[in-house]
Amino acid sequence: MLKNPETKYRPFIAPVDLPDRQWPSRRLTVAPRWLSTDLRDGNQALANPMGVERKQRFYDMLVAIGFKEIEIAFPSASQTEFDFVRRLIEGDRIPDDVTIQVLTQSRTDLIARTFESLDGAHHAIVHLYNATAPLFRRVVFGMERDEIVDLAVTGVTAMLEESLKRPETAWTFEYSPETFCFTEPDFALDICERVLDVWQPTPERPAILNLPATVEVAMPNVYADQIEWFCRHISRRDAVVISVHPHNDRGTGVAAAEQALLAGADRVEGCLFGNGERTGNVDLVTTALNFYTQGIDPGLSFPAMRQVVEAVEHCNGIPVHPRHPYAGELVHTAFSGSHQDAIRKGFVAQEQRNEGIWEMPYLPIDPVDIGETYEAVIRVNSQSGKGGVAWVIEQDRGLKLPKRMQSDFSAQVQKLADHIGRELDAADIWQCFENGYLPRPTDRFVLVDYEETGPAGQRLFVGRIAVDGGLCSLSGRGNGLVSRVVAALEEAGGPLVDVADYQEHAIGHGVSAQAAAYVECRTTDGRTVFGAGIDPDVATASVRALLSAANNMG
């Protein structure tokens, strides 16, 4: 890279000075009109553009998501594109509330072919573009401003003429001065006015002016100033829909769309997951769900996000990044201890509040709303803490470990994760728990069976217990079952068991319910050990937990 990039690159100087800009103090309260251009701008950027079948699958999904305007093709580009338009029209595959849109260059032969593709459509948007930016005027067209205006006017006049030949279709026209964001604002305005002069839109039959950031060259606030300036100056504002079409070259396509909406735009054109030329078009999934998480209905619905991801990956042949906002497979997952702790507490608090408002540390959206489960919310590796481990074992096995036991268990899990050097799944964690706390056949004390005899107040624990492999009969008295088992163990020469904490709970409901018991003990040399027992019978679970703790005393 250059040490002095100023010798090669010029800063983008904001082309409008708008000291009284209004957009920064506005708020977005309603969703815009959306146009999916997946099947056109997205498609033209693929190494292998979609064939008719892939286009059909994508189109059906866009309709199901709720798009009402879909740019389906560049019909004059290829037979496939043309045929797809025909297929939708002839197959009557366009719902009444959906309008298809197609794109054309400003060339009369291409415009004629474009209209031919739309024969018989009930309603359609025809979108014409030509470059207006100085670089493109100079390099691509070799034309002066007035010649570029003539190019646009010739094209939009041809559109009008073609449309008049087909009165059975309700036509909407769209014009894009490309690339608006580095066209001189006065020229962009002038050429759009000249286009409107031809089309004569009315509030009842508005035209769409699309102001693309074909290549994103500045910060989103600069684009927003340009949009606000344009909205203020365009005549017939009530007869014009202002559309924006941000690309993502600087990585701020979504911000550009949102700020452009603040600045007065009515409509956003983009692609699912930001497919499109180079770094892509603005990502409509992210933009829409940004509305949703502000409590605003985006008008687009993703109740099964994984299916959308899979379909888009199939159709585009491009994977969706695991960190993609809202949709990536890792974006609702916490591996790190402090995040896991906060999320786990968040779920408890959410349950206690029970008022429906989503307030969850680290999770801006409830994964369930977009068809994800809570299973993947917390995953465990060597960066995880006790909260995460406790969450997994609770979700997977229904065990609610006491807090100090969580710390103990988490240390063991962390050691294991460090040792094997990968993420631990629920089975790994369960095995670690079994090894650490549940009775094992190789233990010093193994419960065979037991009974409690005698009247209340003088109950006696009598157990058959394998001690070091030999069967023994042990008995002990005490106030409760725990103290009777402790006494029996002592009598048999076992360790002095000082029980510091005992907890139990049910796992599940009904006939298949089990009980889990947890015991925390102090050893005579000051160590703390834990044991756990699981059994359909709560008393047996306690006995097992005590024996496990005794075994863990070493």
Ligand X SMILES: CC(C)C(=O)C(=O)O
Distance CA(259)–CA(24), nearest Å, equals 8
Give 6: exposed, middle or buried? Use CB within 10 Å, 0-12, 13-18, 19+. Answer: exposed
CB 503 within 8 A of CB 402: yes
141 contacts which partner out of ligand X, ligand ACO, none, CB within 5 to 8 A by kind?
Answer: ligand ACO
Q: Which two tokens stand for residue 210?
A: 């699309």
What letters, b where the CB count within 10 A reaches 16 and e where it falls short, cover 127-165?
A: bbbbbbbeebbeeeeebeeeebbebbbbbbbbbeebbee
154 — phi, psi (to 5°)? Answer: -60, -45
Distance CA(374)–CA(332), nearest Å, equals 8
CB 335 within 8 A of CB 384: yes
Confirm or reject binding of residue 154 to ligand ACO (CB under 6 A): no
CA distances from 19 to 16, 225, 229, 241, 249 (A): 9, 9, 11, 25, 27
Region of 8-16, 105-113, 323-331, 414-422 interacting with ligand ACO (CB under 6 A): 105-113
Q: Which two tokens stand for residue 358?
A: 């989503």
Interface pick for ligand ACO out of 38, 69, 178, 228 (rule CB under 6 A) = 178
Confirm or reject binding of residue 105 to ligand ACO (CB under 6 A): yes
Confirm or reject binding of residue 269 to ligand ACO (CB under 6 A): no
Tell me: is residue 247 an annotated ligand-binding position: yes
Distance CA(38)–CA(47), nearest Å, equals 14
Distance CA(113)–CA(31), nearest Å, equals 34
Task: Provide the minimum distance between the beta carbon of 298 and ligand X in the complex, in angstroms, as a whole number.
Answer: 22
Instruction: Supply angle C-alpha 64, 329, 39, rounded to 5.
Output: 40
Task: Provide the minimum distance between the beta carbon of 123 and ligand ACO in the complex, in angstroms, as a whole number.
Answer: 23
107 contacts which partner out of ligand ACO, ligand X, none, CB within 5 to 8 A by kind?
Answer: ligand ACO
Nearer to ligand ACO, 277 or 396 (CB): 277
220 contacts which partner out of ligand ACO, ligand X, none, CB within 5 to 8 A by kind?
Answer: none
Confirm or reject binding of residue 236 to ligand ACO (CB under 6 A): no
Interface pick for ligand ACO out of 130, 163, 286, 414 (rule CB under 6 A) = 130
Interface pick for ligand ACO out of 68, 86, 93, 107 (rule CB under 6 A) = 107
CB 244 within 8 A of CB 213: yes
C-alpha 531: how far from its chain's center?
A: 40
Determine the 3-state secondary structure of 312 from DSSP.
helix
Task: Provide the minimum distance between the beta carbon of 74 and ligand ACO in the complex, in angstroms, as a whole number.
Answer: 4
Confirm or reject binding of residue 129 to ligand ACO (CB under 6 A): yes
Tell me: is residue 314 an annotated ligand-binding position: no
Radius of gyration of the chain (CA): 34
Nearer to ligand ACO, 81 or 535 (CB): 81
Nearer to ligand ACO, 45 or 401 (CB): 45
21 contacts which partner out of ligand X, ligand ACO, none, CB within 5 to 8 A by kind?
Answer: none
Task: Provide the minimum distance between the beta carbon of 269 and ligand X in the complex, in angstroms, as a whole number.
Answer: 7
Sign of CA dihedral 132, 151, 123, 60: negative
Tell me: is residue 245 an annotated ligand-binding position: yes
Nearest to 40 by CA among 227, 259, 276, 238: 276
105 contacts which partner out of ligand X, ligand ACO, none, CB within 5 to 8 A by kind?
Answer: ligand ACO
- Name the site residues for ligand X (rule: CB under 6 A): 41, 103, 129, 176, 178-179, 210, 212, 214, 245, 247
Task: Provide the minimum distance between the beta carbon of 337 and ligand X in the complex, in angstroms, as a whole number.
Answer: 44
Beta bridge partners of 242: 209
| DSSP code for 333 | -
Interface pick for ligand ACO out of 62, 77, 125, 234 (rule CB under 6 A) = 77
Task: Provide the minimum distance between the beta carbon of 130 and ligand ACO in the complex, in angstroms, as a whole number.
Answer: 4
Q: Which two tokens stand for residue 520?
A: 């925390």
Give me the residue label for tokens 């050097």.
421
Confirm or reject binding of residue 275 to ligand ACO (CB under 6 A): no
Interface pick for ligand ACO out of 44, 80, 157, 383 (rule CB under 6 A) = 44
Nearer to ligand ACO, 213 or 541 (CB): 213
Q: Which two tokens stand for residue 484?
A: 């009777």
Task: Provide the minimum distance between the beta carbon of 253 and ligand ACO in the complex, in angstroms, as a whole number.
Answer: 14
Tell me: is residue 281 an annotated ligand-binding position: yes
Task: Provide the minimum distance between the beta carbon of 230 and ligand ACO in the complex, in angstroms, as a whole number.
Answer: 18
How many residues form the binding site for ligand ACO (CB under 6 A)?
A: 17
Confirm or reject binding of residue 101 to ligand ACO (CB under 6 A): no
Feature table: binding site for Mg(2+): 41, 245, 247, 281
Residues in touch with ligand ACO (CB under 6 A) = 41, 44, 74, 76-77, 105-107, 110, 129-130, 140-141, 151, 178, 214, 277
Feature table: binding site: 41, 245, 247, 281
